C-alpha cells in the first residue's frame, strides 16, 4: 500500500470506532454530546499536522485553514465532511474489518449472524477485485458516511503540508455535526468560514460528482377519530386508523420511493402510529423539479381537504415544512466549479459519474446560504446499514481529486 493509503486506513479505522450517532429527537445542538469526542480528536490531529486557525465551537463545528503558498490571486476553496452517523443503525462499538486483496466473490461479514455481501445483490462490489475492502462486523454500520470523507480531507491537507512544492491558494476545511438529521449547518457561519466556494466529500462510489439534489419537505398529519363501542358504532365511529389508510391510498402509488429512480420524485411514508381515536402519519416529499415539488405539496393539502369535507369536520390537521432545496439553482451561475472537479477526475483517469442526488447534503443548504457546494465521492457503498463498505483505493482516489482541484485553481 502507498503512504497515503496507510494514512487513510489508519484514520478511518480510528474515526469509525468513535460513536458519533446523531439523534433526531434531541433538542440540543449538536444533538448528541458524543459528537464532540470526534471533534476534539480532530482538533488535536489538525494541529499536529500543521494546519492553522484550528478550533471547535459550541455547536461542534471543527474548522481549520491552510494558508496560501502561491503568490497568484486564487480563490479560497473549502472542503467539508460530516462527523455524525445515521440514526438508522447503531454506530456504537463499531468493529471494522479489512479484507485485503479482495477476490471478487461474496464477502462474509459475519458468519454467525448470516450477514454476507452478495455479488448477485450488489454486483458493483466485483469491480473492486484485488483491492482492500473495509466493512463493519455485521451488527453496526461502518460509518464511512462520512468518516471516509473526513479521513480524505485530513490526509489531503497533510499531503499539501508535507509537499510545499505543490502551490495552492488558501484552503478552509470544516467538519460538521448532525448532517444525517438535516441540521448539519443550522448554525454554520458561512461568512466567517470565508471560502469562495466549497465541496462536500459525502458522495458514494468512485467518480460520483453531484450538483443537484431533491427539493425536500416534511409532512406531519394528525387525525382525530371518534371511538365508540363497536357494538353501537354504526353511523357514529370514525376509525382514525382507517382514515389514515384512506388518505395514504389517495396518494399516487407509482410515486413511492421503491418505484422511482433518477429524476422521479416521491411521497414516502416514514412513520405511522395510532388507535381508533387518534392517528398520526409522517411523510417526506421529494422532487428535483421545483414545480413538481410544489404540486406534490398541493396534492397532500387537497387530499386532506377532501377527507375533511367527506366527514364534514376538520378531523385531519397537518403541518408541511420545507427542509432544503435543489442546489442546482445556486451552483449553475458558478458552474466552473463543477467542471473543475470533472476535469480533475478525468485527469486522474476516473470516469465522472454525474447524476442527481436522490437526497440532500449539507452542501445543498450551504449553497443557499451563499457557499456553492457540489458533492464529491468518498468511495463508500450501502450507507446507513450493516452492509456498508468502502474500498481503500477509492478513498485514495478521492484524496487525489482534492489535490488536483486545488492544483487547478492556481493554474
Annotation marks residue 179 as catalytic: yes
Annotation marks residue 152 as catalytic: no
In angstroms, what CA-CA distances link 39 with 25, 44, 50, 67, 396?
Answer: 21, 9, 17, 22, 23
Residue pair 368/325 in contact by the 8 Å Cβ criterion: yes
- Closest-CA residue to 406 (of 9, 66, 54): 66
* Annotated catalytic residue, options 152, 179, 208, 396: 179
* Annotated catalytic residue, options 45, 84, 158, 362: 84
Residue pair 172/193 in contact by the 8 Å Cβ criterion: yes
Active site positions, annotated: 84, 179
Amino acid at each position: 500500500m502507498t503512504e497515503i493509503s496507510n494514512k487513510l486506513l489508519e484514520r478511518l479505522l480510528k474515526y469509525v470506532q468513535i460513536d458519533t450517532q446523531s439523534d433526531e429527537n434531541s433538542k440540543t445542538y449538536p444533538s448528541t454530546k458524543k459528537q464532540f469526542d470526534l471533534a476534539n480528536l480532530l482538533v488535536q490531529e489538525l494541529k499536529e499536522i500543521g494546519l492553522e486557525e484550528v478550533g471547535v465551537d459550541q455547536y461542534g463545528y471543527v474548522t481549520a485553514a491552510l494558508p496560501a503558498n502561491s503568490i497568484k490571486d486564487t480563490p479560497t476553496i473549502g472542503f467539508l465532511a460530516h462527523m455524525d452517523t445515521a440514526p438508522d443503525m447503531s454506530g456504537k462499538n463499531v468493529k471494522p474489518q479489512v479484507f485485503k486483496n479482495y477476490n471478487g466473490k461474496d464477502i462474509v461479514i459475519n458468519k454467525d449472524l448470516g450477514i454476507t455481501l452478495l455479488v448477485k445483490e450488489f454486483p458493483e462490489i466485483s469491480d473492486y477485485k484485488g483491492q482492500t475492502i473495509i466493512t463493519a462486523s455485521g451488527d453496526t454500520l461502518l460509518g464511512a458516511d462520512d468518516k471516509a470523507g473526513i479521513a480524505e480531507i485530513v490526509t489531503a491537507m497533510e499531503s499539501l503540508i508535507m509537499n510545499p512544492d505543490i502551490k495552492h491558494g488558501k484552503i478552509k476545511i470544516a467538519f460538521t455535526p448532525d448532517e444525517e438529521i438535516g441540521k448539519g449547518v443550522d448554525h454554520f457561519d458561512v461568512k466567517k468560514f470565508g471560502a469562495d466556494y466549497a465541496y462536500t466529500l459525502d458522495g458514494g462510489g468512485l467518480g460520483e460528482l453531484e450538483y443537484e439534489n431533491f427539493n425536500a419537505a416534511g409532512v406531519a398529519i394528525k387525525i382525530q377519530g371518534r371511538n365508540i363501542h363497536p357494538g353501537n358504532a354504526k353511523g357514529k365511529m370514525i376509525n382514525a386508523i382507517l382514515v389514515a389508510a384512506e388518505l395514504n391510498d389517495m396518494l399516487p402509488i407509482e410515486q413511492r420511493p421503491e418505484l422511482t429512480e433518477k429524476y422521479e420524485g416521491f411521497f414516502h411514508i416514514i412513520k405511522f402510529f395510532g388507535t381508533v381515536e387518534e392517528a398520526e402519519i409522517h411523510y417526506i416529499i421529494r422532487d428535483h423539479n421545483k414545480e413538481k415539488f410544489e404540486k406534490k405539496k398541493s396534492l397532500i393539502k387537497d387530499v386532506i381537504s377532501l377527507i375533511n369535507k367527506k366527514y364534514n369536520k376538520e378531523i385531519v390537521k397537518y403541518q408541511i415544512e420545507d427542509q432544503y432545496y435543489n442546489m442546482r439553482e445556486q451552483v449553475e451561475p458558478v458552474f466552473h466549479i463543477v467542471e473543475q472537479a470533472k476535469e480533475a477526475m478525468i485527469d486522474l483517469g476516473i470516469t465522472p459519474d454525474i447524476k442527481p442526488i436522490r437526497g440532500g447534503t449539507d452542501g445543498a443548504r450551504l449553497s443557499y446560504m451563499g457557499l456553492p457546494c457540489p458533492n464529491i465521492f468518498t468511495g463508500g457503498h450501502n450507507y446507513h446499514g450493516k452492509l456498508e463498505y468502502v474500498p481503500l483505493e477509492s478513498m485514495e482516489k478521492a484524496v487525489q481529486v482534492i489535490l488536483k482541484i486545488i492544483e487547478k485553481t492556481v493554474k
